[in-house]
Amino acid sequence: MKRPRLIVLATVAALAATVALGGGALRGSHSPGALAAAPADASAYMALGFHLQALERKTGDPVYLTTSEHALRKALALAPGDRAATSGLATLALSRHHFREALALGRELLRLSPESASAYGVIGDAQLELGRYRQAFAAFDTIARLKPGLSSYARVSYARELLGDRPGAIAAMRLALEPAAASREDTAWTRVQLGKLFWSEGRMGAAAAEYRAAVAVSPGYAAALDALAQVEAARGRPARAIALERRALVSMPTPQSATALGDLYRLAGKTSLAWAHYEQVRELYRRLAANGTKTDLDVALFDVDHGIRLPQALALARRGHAHRPSIDGDDVLAWALARNGRCSAARAYSERALRLGTRDAAKLFHRGMIERCLGNRRAARLYLGRAVALNPHFSLLWAPVARKALG
């Protein structure tokens, strides 16, 4: 479910300031306490804040986000109304799924700089996760007009995907490849996103080619290794899939990779290894939450998918939906309700999850299972058939269930 975040990159000035820190008091120490020993220089704090966010993207360690917040808030205290510090805090809020805070910071950024493309990016990203699609798409149109490039093309691609326009989404992501070429990290990220668009419509070979291109540009890139593991599993090569997923998890420990590795072990009949990785998933989510990330919706989806504490998972899904009332929030809540036997209520949320015309196999599968629960056999076959036709390998655990139900 979860999509990779659209990260607003640090400005050239901020990156230059990071280098300028050299051997100063901030070097090699990223704890909140170390900030007190730093010089009272707003630009140095801003540079540190952006640098720490870059480290989090590289390592996946959410502790860097906590320290980044301390640095950026210190910078803003020293330089009230500073655009760069406000932008950094807005990016941080998006990363932590604090979407209403991100929206407020994006609007403040727009007030400080009325023609700021990055402000419209933050506003659009936040509106999207709050389920305000008309406003989000308008913001994306504006950023594409103000500053065509990787960030705007990626957002346009996602908007088109949400609206069910997969060819348009692919075309926009292809446009992103040229501006992404300036950075190996950006190129790898863009290749993976393009591959996922192919994967989501069952074009396995095209997807694998993009994932391999990402690895060629950035060896050890965890998102590409994780995606290639899905391809190998779909091709009936579980040992290769497990090896790739283990590499991904070592490269960057994320709940997504730990979940996938656990599922691969489960399908291979290695139950104890599967549950060891499921516990790792929970620990990684606990670590994220301890460092300020709202994880309710993600934890709820994991628990619901794996049949863990279903009543508590439903409560988490309701709480997650309250702060993230997007089509993803609708879908997770629908699935949680269905797995708790509340299928009439689930159907209403599933309808909302599909209201944009999004061609998402998982969402279609959930709707099919809800209709099946309600005894609507014809509708169940329709939605399950659409899910499998779109992507017969949409889920390690649930795609086989869909195929079996269609019999």
Q: What is the pTM of this model?
A: 0.89
**pLDDT for the residue 176:** 97
Angle subtended at Cα 163 by Cα 160 and Cα 164, rounded to the nearest 5 degrees:
90
Q: Using alpha carbons, select from 281, 284, 283 the residue that is nearest to residue 265.
A: 281
Q: Using alpha carbons, select from 290, 338, 292, 294 the residue that is nearest to residue 314.
A: 338
pLDDT tens for each residue of 172-195: 999 999 999 999 999 999 999 999
Element housing 128 (H / E): helix 117-129
Angle subtended at Cα 157 by Cα 153 and Cα 163, rounded to the nearest 5 degrees:
145
pLDDT tens for each residue of 32-66: 444 544 456 899 999 999 999 999 999 999 999 99
| Mean of all residue pLDDT scores within the chain | 91
CA 208 to chain centre: 20
- In this predicted structure, the answer to whether residue 342 has a pLDDT above a threshold of 80 is yes
Determine the Cα–Cα distance for residues 339 and 215; give it in Å rounded to an integer.
37
pLDDT above 90 as % of the chain: 89
For the chain, the structural domain boundaries read 295-407
Whether residue 17 contacts residue 53, with contact meaning beta carbons closer than 8 Å, is answered with no
**pLDDT for the residue 39:** 52
Q: In residues, how long is the chain? A: 407
- How far CA 347 is from CA of 52, 262, 342, 378, in Å, comes to 43, 29, 9, 15
- State the chain's maximal CA–CA distance in angstroms: 68
pLDDT category of residue 23 using cuts at 50, 70 and 90: very low
Question: What is the separation, in whole angstroms, between the first and last Cα of the chain?
Answer: 26
Report, as an integer, the average pLDDT of 10-35.
35
- In this predicted structure, the answer to whether residue 21 has a pLDDT above a threshold of 70 is no
Determine the Cα–Cα distance for residues 95 and 6; give it in Å rounded to an integer.
9
- Please identify, in words, the CATH class of the domain defined by 295-407: mainly alpha
**pLDDT for the residue 407:** 86
Out of 4-13, 74-83, 148-157, 181-190, pick the least confident.
4-13
Whether residue 145 contacts residue 124, with contact meaning beta carbons closer than 8 Å, is answered with no
Report, as an integer, the average pLDDT of 339-361.
98
- In this predicted structure, the answer to whether residue 204 has a pLDDT above a threshold of 80 is yes
Structure tokens, 219: 């060896």
Determine the Cα–Cα distance for residues 207 and 16; give it in Å rounded to an integer.
36
pLDDT category of residue 302 using cuts at 50, 70 and 90: very high
- In this predicted structure, the answer to whether residue 294 has a pLDDT above a threshold of 60 is yes
Structure tokens, 216: 């060629």
